[in-house]
């Protein structure tokens, strides 16, 4: 009899404890409050950002072919020059002396040729009369040939001396603006292995270019012809426009970071952009003028387990996979609004129970029902994403509230920090 009483008491305690636990769990699930944001409608732009340096499209470094001392300088910074205009002159006195010496050597070589030519003609006449030996004739012929060769060498030295004297006058190779002047009067320049740079001339500062360093993770989305906007620190409130002109194939590696140089044309009719400025570049990769969009955190959000358990218990068809048709071998295509849940390994049907569609272009939003003030799952298709918002398509209307986190607990932060679920991704 006592055993029966003990058994009955234990059974009452178990049933009562289970009932209390279920009551507490349901009340806690019912008391959950979710933070929601409205579905927005508007444009969505996908961009790639990078930094670059402004430069003129054509920049020429003007050097010197000969060594010497700067005698005169005719231009300064920011001067506009024309092609062929004299920029500077070297001291020509040493070069003139070298030219005179080369000219004298050339004249001596000419005289030697004339003398050996006369000797050769005389030897030919005597050799024809058998008055000199064959060796004497061959010697006269060799002397003449050597004199001709010496004349050619002297002529080349004479021409080189004239060229060096011509190079003593530094002229502009293009029309443009003097960006840099690196020498002063009296300075000695030595043109040995490395030609010294005297001036830097930019062709036309009304047409600039930006050399942007784009990360290897983003270079695959950049194409020639894409529109570009950029800003410079000198004019932070002004946005300049350009277009991608070239994607250079040569990579640049800096501290194990691989970047590629993207050349962007930058019209500069007002002359505000200056060479060397740092540009903050934004490349427009894709754009849609009017789409439904939600924050990306809405696709990452998953309600707590107690809410999922209660929701599952109230929905008789919630938690069943769509049946596969027999005979065709393929799974049934998901329609908008289809759900696919299965029990989690622990059998509770918690957040790990959500499987969803295998289509990578789909996601799950938890939509607030205005009648019941509770959230329900809704399958949507995802599209463009700018890193903050993502395009969604489905049974949605602008202004509809979707859950992005919890109110009054730290679960909201955990939902925002958890990695993206399989239904949230970026497509371009």
**pLDDT, tens only, 374-393:** 888 999 999 988 889 999 99
Helical (H) or strand (E) element with 311: helix 305-314
Q: How far is Cα 342 from Cα 134, in angstroms, rounded to an integer?
A: 115
Beta bridge partners of 2: none
Strand order in the sheet with 86-90: 169-171, 86-90, 68-73, 188-189
Query: Best-predicted range by mean pLDDT among 25-39, 92-106, 305-319?
Result: 92-106
Q: How far is Cα 171 from Cα 198, in angstroms, rounded to an integer?
A: 11
The yes-or-no verdict on residue 414 having pLDDT over 60 is no
pLDDT value of position 386? 86
pLDDT value of position 4? 59
The yes-or-no verdict on residue 296 having pLDDT over 60 is yes
pLDDT value of position 421? 46
Q: How far is Cα 39 from Cα 56, in angstroms, rounded to an integer?
A: 46
Residues of the chain above pLDDT 70, percent: 77
Q: How far is Cα 305 from Cα 334, in angstroms, rounded to an integer?
A: 25
Could you tell me where in the chain the CATH 2.40.50.100 domains are found? 64-90+168-203
With tokens 């009304």, the residue in question is 206
Q: How far is Cα 20 from Cα 282, in angstroms, rounded to an integer?
A: 59
Largest CA distance in the chain: 164
pLDDT value of position 360? 62
When mean pLDDT is compared across 36-40, 140-144, 277-281, 409-413, the lowest value belongs to 409-413
pLDDT tier for residue 427 given thresholds of 50, 70 and 90? very low
pLDDT value of position 25? 47
Beta bridge partners of 52: 212, 279
Q: 225 with 247: CB under 8 angstroms?
A: no
Q: How far is Cα 16 from Cα 165, in angstroms, rounded to an integer?
A: 112
The yes-or-no verdict on residue 277 having pLDDT over 50 is yes
Please give the class, per CATH, of domain 48-57+205-289.
mainly beta
* Mean pLDDT of the region 246-252: 94
pLDDT value of position 408? 61
pLDDT digits (tens, 9 = 90+) for 200-243: 999 889 999 999 999 999 999 999 999 999 999 999 999 999 99
Beta bridge partners of 89: 72, 169
pLDDT tier for residue 195 given thresholds of 50, 70 and 90? confident
Q: How far is Cα 295 from Cα 284, in angstroms, rounded to an integer?
A: 20
pLDDT value of position 10? 59
The yes-or-no verdict on residue 372 having pLDDT over 90 is no
For residue 106, give the DSSP letter: H
Sheet strands (E) in 66-160:
68-73, 80-81, 86-90
Name the CATH code of domain 64-90+168-203 (choices 2.40.50.100, 3.30.70.580, 3.40.190.10, 3.40.50.720): 2.40.50.100
Kindly list the distances between the CA atom of residue 31 and the CA atoms of 27, 34, 255, 407, 424, in Å, as whole numbers in the listed order. Answer: 6, 10, 52, 11, 28
Select the more confidently predicted residue: 306 or 255: 255
Q: How far is Cα 176 from Cα 89, in angstroms, rounded to an integer?
A: 19
* Mean pLDDT of the region 391-404: 91
Could you tell me where in the chain the CATH 1.10.287.470 domains are found? 92-167
* Mean pLDDT of the region 23-29: 46
Beta bridge partners of 279: 52, 232
* Mean pLDDT of the region 411-424: 43
Q: How far is Cα 220 from Cα 262, in angstroms, rounded to an integer?
A: 12
pLDDT value of position 334? 35
pLDDT value of position 147? 95
Quick one: tokens of 70?
A: 């700067």
Quick one: tokens of 89?
A: 């002159």
Could you tell me where in the chain the CATH 2.40.30.170 domains are found? 48-57+205-289
92-107 in b/e form (b: 16+ CB < 10 A) is: eebbeebbeebeebbe
Q: How far is Cα 52 from Cα 222, in angstroms, rounded to an integer?
A: 15
pLDDT tier for residue 361 given thresholds of 50, 70 and 90? confident
pLDDT tier for residue 352 given thresholds of 50, 70 and 90? very low
Q: List phi, psi (to 5°) of 246.
A: -160, 145
When mean pLDDT is compared across 25-39, 60-74, 75-89, 351-365, the lowest value belongs to 351-365
The yes-or-no verdict on residue 354 having pLDDT over 70 is no
Q: Which of 426, 324, 421, 332 is nearest to 377 (CA)?
A: 421
Quick one: tokens of 221?
A: 């989305």
Select the more confidently predicted residue: 396 or 324: 396
* Mean pLDDT of the region 44-54: 94
Q: How far is Cα 410 from Cα 422, in angstroms, rounded to an integer?
A: 23
pLDDT value of position 281? 96
When mean pLDDT is compared across 159-168, 187-196, 344-353, the lowest value belongs to 344-353
Q: 205 with 199: CB under 8 angstroms?
A: no
* Mean pLDDT of the region 308-330: 56
pLDDT value of position 340? 41
Quick one: tokens of 318?
A: 């919630």
The yes-or-no verdict on residue 14 having pLDDT over 90 is no
H-state helical runs in 129-199: 134-167
* Mean pLDDT of the region 83-104: 95
- The arrangement of secondary structure in 92-167, i.e. its CATH architecture, is Orthogonal Bundle (1.10)
pLDDT value of position 136? 92
The yes-or-no verdict on residue 350 having pLDDT over 50 is no
The yes-or-no verdict on residue 353 having pLDDT over 50 is no
Select the more confidently predicted residue: 338 or 281: 281
Q: How many CA atoms lie within 13 A of 287 on its CB side?
A: 11
Helix, strand or coil, per DSSP, at residue 373? coil
Select the more confidently predicted residue: 359 or 395: 395
Kindly list the distances between the CA atom of residue 363 and the CA atoms of 350, 393, 416, in Å, as whole numbers in the listed order. Answer: 18, 10, 16
């Amino acid at each position: 009899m006592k055993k029966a009483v003990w058994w009955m008491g234990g059974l009452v305690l178990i049933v009562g404890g289970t009932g209390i636990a279920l009551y507490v769990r349901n009340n806690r699930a019912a008391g959950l409050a979710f933070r929601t944001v409205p579905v927005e409608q508007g444009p969505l732009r996908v961009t790639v950002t990078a930094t670059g340096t402004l430069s003129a499209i054509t920049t020429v470094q003007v050097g010197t072919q000969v060594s010497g001392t700067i005698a005169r300088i005719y231009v300064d910074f920011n001067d506009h020059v024309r092609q062929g205009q004299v920029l500077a002159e070297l001291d020509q006195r040493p070069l003139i002396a070298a030219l005179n010496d080369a000219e004298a050597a050339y004249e001596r070589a000419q005289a030697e040729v004339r003398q050996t030519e006369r000797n050769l003609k005389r030897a030919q006449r005597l050799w024809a009369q058998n008055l000199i030996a064959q060796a004497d004739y061959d010697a006269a012929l060799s002397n003449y040939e050597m004199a001709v060769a010496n004349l050619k060498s002297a002529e080349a030295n004479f021409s080189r001396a004239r060229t060096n004297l011509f190079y003593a006058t530094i002229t502009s190779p293009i029309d443009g603006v003097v960006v840099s002047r690196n020498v002063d009067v009296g300075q000695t320049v030595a043109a040995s292995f490395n030609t010294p740079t005297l001036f830097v001339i930019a062709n036309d500062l009304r047409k600039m270019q930006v050399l942007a360093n784009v990360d290897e993770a983003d270079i695959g989305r950049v194409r020639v012809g894409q529109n570009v906007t950029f800003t410079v620190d000198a004019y932070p409130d002004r946005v300049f426009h350009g277009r991608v002109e070239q994607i250079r194939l040569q990579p640049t590696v800096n501290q194990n970071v691989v970047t590629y140089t993207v050349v962007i044309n930058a019209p500069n009719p007002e002359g505000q952009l200056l060479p060397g400025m740092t540009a903050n570049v934004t490349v427009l990769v894709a754009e849609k003028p009017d789409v439904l969009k939600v924050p990306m955190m809405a696709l990452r959000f998953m309600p707590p387990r107690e809410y999922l358990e209660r929701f599952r218990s109230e929905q008789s068809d919630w938690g069943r996979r769509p049946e596969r048709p027999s005979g065709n071998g393929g799974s049934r295509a998901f329609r908008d609004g289809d759900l696919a849940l299965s029990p989690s390994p622990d059998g509770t049907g918690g957040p790990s129970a959500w499987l969803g569609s295998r289509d990578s272009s789909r996601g799950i939003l938890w939509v607030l029902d205005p009648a019941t003030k509770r959230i329900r799952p809704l399958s949507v298709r995802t599209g463009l994403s700018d890193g903050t918002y993502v395009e969604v398509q489905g049974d949605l209307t602008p202004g509809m509230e979707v859950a992005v986190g919890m109110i009054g607990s730290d679960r909201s932060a955990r939902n925002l920090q958890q990695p993206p679920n399989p239904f949230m991704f970026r497509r371009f």
